[in-house]
Amino acid sequence: MKNIFFVGIGGKGLNGIAKICLEKGFNVFGVDKDIKPETVALSEMGAVIFYEHKESNINKNIDLVVYSAIIKEDCPEIVKAKKLGIKIIKRAEFLGQLTKNDFRISVCGSHGKSTTTALVGLSMINSNIDATIFGGAPTRELDGYNHLGKSKYTVIESCEYDRSFFHLVGNITIITSIEKSHLEYYKDESEMLDSFAHYINLHNENSLIIANGDDSNIRKLTAHSRCRVVYFGFDQRNDYVISDVLKTLNGSNFSIYKNGHKIINNLNIKIPGLYNILNFTATAVLLERLGLKMDGVIETARHFSGVGRRFEISYLKSGQIFIDDFAHHPTQVKNLFDGIRQFFPNEKTCAIFQPRQYNLMKNFLTEYGQAFKKADEIILTDILPNLGDTQEDIKSVNSFDIAQSISKHSQKPVKIINSFPEIIQYLKSKYYGRSVITTIGTGNIYEIKNQFIKSIN
């Protein structure tokens, strides 16, 4: 296998993998509908990229076609590959094959995967183990999503969507959380939990699972696992217990105990929230189980400010503080505001929420309503459709329903403003000086910040 074609090569799922394949010496080809920095960078490294989907992009010299879960099988390149008898596989299966001979460290869970994957990878590098990293969000220290290391270790973000994590079972697996999610793919929460149970059961007797023991779903699903399981968390029942927590305006300090003995003392992290304490703890437990000193995670904590679009802070000269976050699940929204109130307890805070995916909004309408209690005001845009939304989903919910739920459950004022220029005008009229403006969602809501800056300069 020498010539690999990636369908959707500019997307976050495939872009970094294509880069590592180039670095490994494969010939890389691909197609994407847009010219973007990610595809330009790959082209400069030697990839051949097309910007229009056509059957002619594929020829008999291609050995393998790799596509992400969101690509339809009637895509021209896939159709042509089938005609030519070229092997076609999804991203996760390819990644599983690419890393099958490595010591694989998988990070899975409903929340915290991208941050924990970055923390584990960086902490291993800071422990002088040059691990390969396949992450789910851009990381400043890596200058991207991924990193090709020189050791036998590979750290992979492993997602439950499309059951793709079945291909990415780890020698060691971290489970951060298990909560109802991806109901655009799973028919209900029970089917999603069954998928996690199957994933856990794919681990053999020599595998190790490092699990958030404060999570009742994780406890239940790992209770009879045939592999070794160790638990971490705040609860005293855990094998690794978080204690001595001090949350400040600049971060958090905490210690970790194993069987009553302190393995790390007064770790200082620069990012807020109990959820990030858990992410760092999972990382420390992993290092400890590999027999490494805690220096790697301590060094990572000194500099780590988060991955891209996760509590990403910008301080404007005009006084406003913009915080951008990818949060697309109500628990993530709630966690975001816990972090905001840790760092900015008294500032007036406006949440600009761009809902995405009708199915998600329909299934979590009450939970979204409850997630904004720590904001002072909420601005909603129209719901952005997403792959997997049916006509029934689209008819079932709208932004007015979300606004009503927020008004009822969070009891905060809500406005629906769909135009970015109108949102910016409203912000300028009300949020001047030192106030917090947070942009939330997986779409293009992050563009508000730059447009706001242009409007005041």
Amino acid at the residue 288: E
d(CA 210, CA 218): 10
Burial of 271 (0-12, 13-18, 19+ CB in 10 A): buried
* Confidence (pLDDT) at 70: 80
The C-alpha atoms of residue 37 and residue 20 are separated, in whole angstroms, by: 16
Q: Is 441 left (phi over 0), alpha (psi -120 to 50) or beta?
A: left
Give the relative orientation of helices 37-45 and 12-24 as an angle to the nearest 10 degrees.
10
pLDDT of res. 43: 97
Q: Please list, in sequence order, all residues whose beta carbon lies within 8 angstroms of the beta carbon of residue 67, skipping any fewer than 6 positions away.
A: 6, 7, 8, 14, 75, 77, 78, 88, 89, 90, 91
Count of all residues that appear for the chain in the document: 457
Tell me the pLDDT tens digit for each residue of 22-71: 999 999 999 999 999 989 999 999 999 999 999 999 999 999 999 987 88
For the chain, residues with pLDDT lower than 70 are: none
Nearest-10 crossing angle of helices 420-430, 447-456? 60
pLDDT at position 387 is 76
pLDDT at 234: 98
Q: In this predicted model, what pLDDT tens digit does every residue of 407-430 receive, in sequence order?
A: 999 999 999 999 999 999 999 999
* Global confidence as pTM: 0.95
Q: What integer pLDDT is reported at residue 72 of this predicted model?
A: 85
**pLDDT tens, 365-410?**
999 999 999 999 999 999 999 878 999 999 999 999 999 999 999 9
Q: Cβ atoms within 10 A of the Cβ of 457, count?
A: 7
Task: Give the largest CA-CA distance in the chain.
Answer: 64
